[in-house]
Amino acid sequence: MIDHSISASGLPHGHTSDDKDAALAVVSEVAQEIDPVVARRVLWKIDLYLMPAMLIGYGIVYYDKAILGSAALFGMTTDLDLIVNDYSTTPPSADSSRLSWATSIFYFGMLAGLYLMTFILQRFKTRTVLGPVVMIWAIVCAATAGVSTWQGLFVQRFFLGFIESVIPTSFMTIVSGYYTQEEQALRQAWWFSGTGWFTIIGGALNYGFGQIESGSLTRWQYIYILAGALTFLFGLWCCTMPNSPVSAWFLTPEERMVAVERLRKGQTGVRCQKIKFDQIRECLTDVKIYLVAIMMAAAYTINGAISGFGPLIVSTFGYDTLYSILFQFPVGAVCVIFIPLCGYIPTIVPNTRIPLLIICCLPVIAGCVMIWKSEWGYRPATPVIGYALTGFFGPVVSLIITVGASNVAGATKKSVMAATVFVAYTVGNIIGPQLVKSDQKAQHYPELWTGMVICYCITIAAAVVLYLILRRENRIRDSMELDEAQRDKIAFDDLTDKQNPFFRYAL
């Protein structure tokens, strides 16, 4: 997996100094001693600036997709004819395929925008791309309240997905450009835990909106206007985002140097705005990119079903509309607790990312089986517990993101990897809703739960293969006789993980 075409200067053959990382604007090619006290202060400042806002930002990303399920309970399906009732049959039947497509079409929009948005973000300054795009997203989200037909909703959902595609990939690359390999697991987990927080917060807000009995708008319209307002506030923060630690305005000049210098050991680089086609080609032949994508597609299939149909599924257990929303709380609680926990453990126990990923797949499988095979009856306990266990998909996906982000170097390759991972994410979310068939309601949706179990078995198998490949590659690199003097010199040459023999993969 190593590209040995390194010249005496430390650069791959054919590369020039223009191809190097932005980090060299504040540090030299020789490692410098840094004060541990200053390093801790720098880390605290970066955390304080990035993490709360990114957690809220990704929470909003999750919220404005998940509220479709609650909006469906608040009359949206009737107002927009998303569920078609056929009274000619005995008993009357209902076709929910329009609601399924309203959920899935968002991800077609995201699929269309991922690579384009990701490369635009790499090529231009972060704040000039991220800020305006998020504000447009806020407008598109709030505009859902003005949709009056199911066809209009499909169009709105497509463009919403297209605009939002920039968020998850930008967060992945931002974290990999500010934090060391050891720190990335917890920080990727922190922002992704926004899914859990906003499952709880969003559920509480939706429950509150469910109490509205008057006003010029329907309850589901109020929900989307709120989501748009929250998104706009997040967009204001995005307008302040610096390109990298090199230009971080919230750090002093000395702190910027320390912020960059402490990343030297990991060999992952900071930021290079030049798009390199050789790194794109390398991605196409890198087996670990495909394995991470397979894991993401398989693991996130459950979200497409749960976020869009969760309240409707729970309502079949015998609970009314508002109680069905409250049952999102346990799912959110699992995410809030276990996503950060699974991000923290690898910081104190090295090489546990993939083992933890495999372990967290097991409760999801158990939860799906409990829902599928238990007696539903009236207000049953077993499927409700099983439904809560499906919340472990959050830690699984968070660890997949961490494994992908921490095992790739080179600015363009990191961008392609991030986009590819979330292309897989969209595939999973497109497939998930299509497994919810309204005519299978009486049989407990067997196709859905069987599909989920298969998907998580695929995730486990891909994780095992990836672990074996990365461990073998690390052993090969450890056995090589390398000139350690070159390690510090090439750290910010924007080399990929294959080109750089000093790079080590995080298991």
Q: Give the pLDDT score at 162.
A: 93
Residue listed under structure tokens 């801790």:
40
The whole-number pLDDT of residue 90 equals 67
Low-confidence stretches of the chain (pLDDT < 70) are: 1-31, 69-73, 86-88, 90-93, 210, 266-271, 304, 307-312, 315, 319-325, 376-377, 437-442, 484-485, 488
AA identity, residue 338 = F
Task: Report the top-level CATH class of 34-254+276-489.
Answer: mainly alpha
Tokens of 141: 């989200």
- pLDDT of amino acid 405: 86
For residue 15, what pLDDT is reported? 44
Phi, then psi, of 12 in degrees rounded to 5: -60, 150
> How many Å from the N-terminal Cα to the C-terminal Cα in the chain?
16
pLDDT at position 137 is 92
- H helix intervals, 72-146: 77-79, 97-123, 126-142
Q: What angle do CA 6, 11, 14 make, to 5 degrees?
A: 90
Cα 104 from Cα 428, distance rounded (Å): 10
CA angle 84-90-94, nearest 5°? Answer: 20
Pull the structure tokens for residue 103: 């959920």
In this prediction the pTM is 0.81
State the chain's maximal CA–CA distance in angstroms.
80
What are the φ/ψ torsions at residue 32 (nearest 5 degrees)? -120, 145
Look up tokens 């919220």; give the residue. 63
pLDDT of residue 256: 87
Distance from C-alpha of 502 to C-alpha of 507, rounded to nearest angstrom? 16
**Residues 17, 39: Cα–Cα separation, whole Å:** 28
Place of tokens 């991000």: 343
pLDDT, position 2: 47
CA–CA gap between residue 382 and residue 375 (Å, rounded): 8
> Within 13 Å, how many C-alpha atoms sit on residue 88's CB side?
3
Q: For every residue of 393-407, which 3-state class applies, written as one string?
A: HHHHHHHHHHHHHHC
- Is the bond into 91 cis (omega within 30 degrees of 0)? yes
Closest CA to 419 of 173, 156, 88: 173
